[in-house]
Amino acid sequence: MKRSKKILLSMLFILAIIITATTIIIPKDLDKKYNTVTLEPPYMVSQKAQQLYNSLDFIADMHCDALLWKRDLLKKNTQGSVDIPRMIAANVTLQAFTIVTKAPKNMNFDNNTGETDQITIPYILQRRPINSWFNLTGRALAQCKALHQFEKRSKGKFRVIESVSDLQQYLSDKENNHAITAGFLGIEGMHALSGKLENVDKLYDAGVRMMAPVHFFDNKLGGSAHGVSKDGLTDFGKQVIKKMQEKNMIIDIAHSSPKMLDNIFKISTKPVVSSHTGVQGTCKTVRNLSDKNLKKIAASGGLISIAMFKPATCDSTVASSAKAIKYCIDLIGADYVALGSDFDGAIEIHTDITGLPLYVEEMLKLGISEEDIRKVMGGNVKRFMLKNLPKE
Ligand SMILES: [Zn+2]
């Protein structure tokens, strides 16, 4: 009897170790393994660049996947690129938190199907809500809820912006208290709708204000630049775009196939953005925008948000992103250019969020004017959001 009790206790002990390892250590390790930086903080820039950075009244970034990972964003973390303390340290005004709900195995830029998914197992291991394990809408809603919970627990330090009036209130409060920051919710890939048009309302009600039709594989809305069909928008895709624009949700064309881009520009009645992109003019890959499409985004009154990692800029340097920014300014003017890092997007990023002053330094080196740097670092996002978010 005693011996069997001993065996039972040892088995329970081993089980406890396995559970701890799989639910705490492995998810943290995944975050650490996939989200790396080329340049480690702290970052040093010239006095001129730092002074200009310190004087910026609105600093914004249009893309970050931090919600995908099991990370307490209220703590300053050693892994990943974004959390609320680092946003405040970098004086960031607004960060897009873009939700990823499905990522195929062996992801590549040319030819992915949606048959496999790398997120399901980590989600179970991270002990996320059960309805987010196998249901993509549930998975998106869980990430929306997580951001709102960070807001609640932040004691006023972090806000989720959902409307023009939220943004105005926040900006007026920030004048008296610089140590506050904010984010808004986006989605990468509308397979998160689980094929149902009415889920646009559900996601809107959960706070989502920007959505990209596709991510790395084709879905019910149409073809991804990295999918198999390279198709345009389906009828369902057209219905979704129409419904989103009626609700003043922002269309993000990142990852769309060239055919889908043509279709979106044709039916869209509002400005469209690319939340994280490179440009073919400095880095010719399928994920990057052609001159023709850069001009179309500008003509719509939208935003081209330049990414900060090698596959988008063809180099692992801040200078390569600055070069893409300069290319856009020379082609379409400075009013439609922004930052769209892809922080925490399972990539090696040039720097973490506290490295944003380096972008000012590299833009100065390229001869970009202070006025244009202010626009790119956030001025354009401020103007765009005040015009295009839902009013209330
Ligand atoms: Zn992406």
Ligand 1 center–CA 342 separation, angstroms: 7
Q: How far is the CA of 11 from the centre of ligand 1 (A)?
A: 43
**How many Å lie between the centroid of ligand 1 and the Cα of residue 357?**
23
For ligand 1, the distance from its centroid to the CA atom of residue 174, given in whole angstroms, is 30
Q: Average pLDDT, whole number, for the chain?
A: 94
User: What's the 100 CA to ligand 1 centre distance in angstroms?
Assistant: 8
The pLDDT tens digits for 18-46 are: 666 555 556 667 888 888 999 899 999 99
Residue 255 CA to ligand 1 centre (angstroms) = 7
307 Cα to the center of ligand 1, angstroms: 9
- pLDDT reported for residue 2: 72
The whole-angstrom separation of Cα 193 and Cα 391 is: 24
DSSP 217-286: S-BTTB-BTTSSS---B-HHHHHHHHHHHHTTPEEE-TTB-HHHHHHHHHH--S-EEEEEE-BTTTS--T
Q: Give me ligand 1 centre to Cα 17, in Å.
A: 35
pLDDT in tens, 183-201: 999 999 999 999 999 999 9
Average pLDDT over residues 238-261: 98
pTM exceeds cut of 0.85 = yes
Residue 13 tokens read as 């002990």
Bridge partner list, 37: 349
Q: Cα–Cα distance between 122 and 129 in angstroms, integer?
A: 12
**Over pLDDT 90: what percentage of the chain?**
83
Distance 340 CA to ligand 1 centre (A): 10
Say what the pLDDT of residue 4 is: 78
- The sign one gets for the Cα dihedral 77, 61, 304, 164 is positive
* Distance from the alpha carbon of residue 221 to the mean position of ligand 1, in angstroms: 17
Distance 124 CA to ligand 1 centre (A): 23
CA neighbor of 157 nearest in space, from 209, 99, 55, 86 = 86
- 224 phi and psi, to 5 degrees? -90, 155
pLDDT at 273 over 90: yes
Question: In angstroms, what is the span from residue 126 Cα to ligand 1's centroid?
Answer: 22
